[in-house]
Structure 1
Amino acid sequence: MPPGITTLAADTPTLSAANTGFMLICSALVMLMTPALAFFYGGMVRVKSTLNMLMMSFISLGIVTILWVLYGFSLAFGSDVGSILGWSSDYVGLSGIGVTQLWDGYTIPVYVFAVFQLMFAVLTPALISGALADRVKFTSWALFITLWVTVVYFPVAHWVWGAGGWLYEMGVIDFAGGTAVHINAGAAALGVILVIGKRVGFKKDPMRPHSLPLVMLGAGLLWFGWFGFNAGSWLGNDDGVGAVMFVNTQVATAAAMLAWLGYEKLRHGSFTTLGAASGAVAGLVAITPSGGAVSPLGAIAVGAIAGVLCAMAVGLKYRFGYDDSLDVVGVHLVGGVAGSLLVGLFATGGVQSDAKGLFYGGGLDQLGKQAVGVFAVLAYSLVVSAVLAFLLDRTIGMRVTEDDEISGIDQGEHAETAYDFSGAGGGAALRTAGSAQGSTAAARTKKVDA
């Protein structure tokens, strides 16, 4: 994603109605990705956790929006301060921005750029929530989002995309968020789950998705919204780069889905709908940082490699014993790392930038830069997220009670259930049943398969 750049007076652009309209549509598409993610995650959990999973994504729309207006946009995209943060008083509260003021070097208003970037900031902490299914207090989660976007997401966004940010100035290529969004969220997820521990019954009780149609709906909407996420990140399409990114997004996602399914068939003997949905998301993640720098053939390679790597990675939680409920680490962290590093191999040097990857005569220079960006963001997010989770766990507590976890976090945290199978008055009956179940939770531990 190009940050703001200073142009000479003679080159000062004028407002483009076409680019402005295009970016507003892209912003709306990216906003759709958060409820789409809620559906994707919501279908993957057990029925007793459905509403909580939906809410963990949905609440990000409220919290992050307000923080972005108050100070987030300034920290991420204000004037550079030491290559680490931004700060511009005009961006605080969005109070000093003119209605027709253009984003530096581009033909869209600052307001349009701000709202497009807002949707990225909303989505990123929502991605983390999938790793924490079934066991986190909703109040603690809301406070974690508040702290995390402030001390992790906003600074990292400046590193990667802000004018003067140290990774941007180094020449790290991240078209639409491989480091700032997916590695950032995946590393944060790993940091938090190492602190809060495993779900009751992990590796013992069945924890199958309760609604695969809901998963497929969410994946399809994510795929749809991702075109705005990726193609919009060039902030216009006057030179066709956004069109290349659109094509590469489709191509890589298709390749990753097929690669995941092929691996799944060879490894487990079946083509599953969950595998198709997860493979598609893995491809979307991997092409996000690289799609503006590679050719369509390169996009096929990026997608196929990511599809296999992520399919292999989702099983690591059983080998190493960390409870990543919905495979955020396996898909977003591994997919983000793969896509970001593959730029150093497949960048053609003819689209987004002049940088060339190893396979196009560029040597190891770009690969080295990509590796610095990957591991800097991964380490920072992992450590700071773990510290935040530890502090919250030791103060207000991060986890619900064991009884609430076993009987259902929807009842314990939201006093609701996702589905009412009992007809009129069933809600009250289910709430009563939930209370009774909570008192006998220990006896039911081995029977949970909702």
Structure 2
Amino acid sequence: MQMSVLRERLLAWWAGAWRWVLMAAGAAIAVYVLLGQHSQQGLVTAAALAGLVIAAALTPRIPLAIALMAMPALFVSSRAGMGGTDLSVSDVALAAAFGTAILLGQRPFSRPVRQILWLNLVYQFATLLTVIVNPYLANTVEWFHAWLLISGALIVGWSLGRAGYARLALLLMVGAASVISLGTIVTGVVQYAHGDFGPVYPLWPFGMQKNFAGTVMAFAAVIAYANPGWMSWSITWARASFWLLCVGIVLTQSRQALVGLIVAILVVALRKGSGGVKHSRFVLLLLIPGAWLILLMVLDQISSDNVFNSAHQRLEWMRAMYAYWKLAPIFGHGLRFWYQGGWADYQPPQGEIEVLVSTGILGLVAFLVMCVGMMVVLWKVDPLYGTLAFAVVLSRLVQAQFDLFWVAGQVSIPVVIAGICLGMQAHAAARGPLERRHAAARAVTP
């Protein structure tokens, strides 16, 4: 009897799902052919755009379908390759989600969201002076891009949370990161089988740099570990996802991802009132050998005679960046200056140095005001919603002490998560009076 019921449900599901499967396949093939990129990059781009096509078709029934479908695409670092642009799939997905959120998202914004938007505006105003002093195209484009990565991502997350899609959006993120982790593990097994025990650069579902893979998996691991009560997520699945993601992060040997994850876990585990889910203290014991391993790796590189290893190279780049900054100390050399040629044609090795050389003293002060202000705003939010938001943004700031800060998905993902948490808080607050009114109506109904 149960088997017949199950069979009927599957048939009913397929009766409505088959057309979406055909639409997905058709959209992917069409985009793949139109792009003319018969490669893995073209296939990934086609799949991502096909998802957006399907989301657009679903919009009349689910107004924020495009924003929801964009959540996994935020984890795709491949170049979109449309019209000769250098946009990543993550950028395209965020822009599409932002347009949807602006048109269909609920208003007004909550007080914490408005405060963060104003803080970002302070930074944007300061860096506008850099755009004026250094008039080249990439500088102007990156100025708008930086605004999208903070304010745009925050509005996207807020709109999803406020509309009641917080749980689904976060699960889509964890699912996308888990796929990357599986790809990292598969790549690592093949690599180790050939006797190479170095850092793993995932090759599936698409090729990516180890630090990108490690950091985005770390954000998802924080979600799985925090697992706030309002997510209503099974503890078993949350812990399984967390450990899967941790394995992937360790295989990449991304130090910035590991340090950022350790700091975020400490915040979630030690802060009171972060939700009804009891966080495992066993993880805290594993942080000690993890931190010790990172310290040994850094000390080993510093004491090494290899002047081309990561530690020595970063120190050399820092000295070069300091010398280059002194040529334009007030307004800097412009955003993405290292792509413009000249003797400083390599990326700054640290977040604040990147901002200092790009935007000068004014930009760095505004950047610090924005970052510290965001941390203060998120810390004051009810821990049930604010702990996860604070932890992921703090994790990104910690990661930036070892690499660039303004990197597409690595900035937008934690800010989207923070926006989702703030939107969910507003959604829960709005539901409270509504539920009380419904209860009162039921009480007087015969």
Whether these two folds match at TM > 0.5 is no
- TM (norm. structure 1) is 0.30
Q: Report which of the two has the higher share of helix.
A: 2
- TM (norm. structure 2) is 0.30
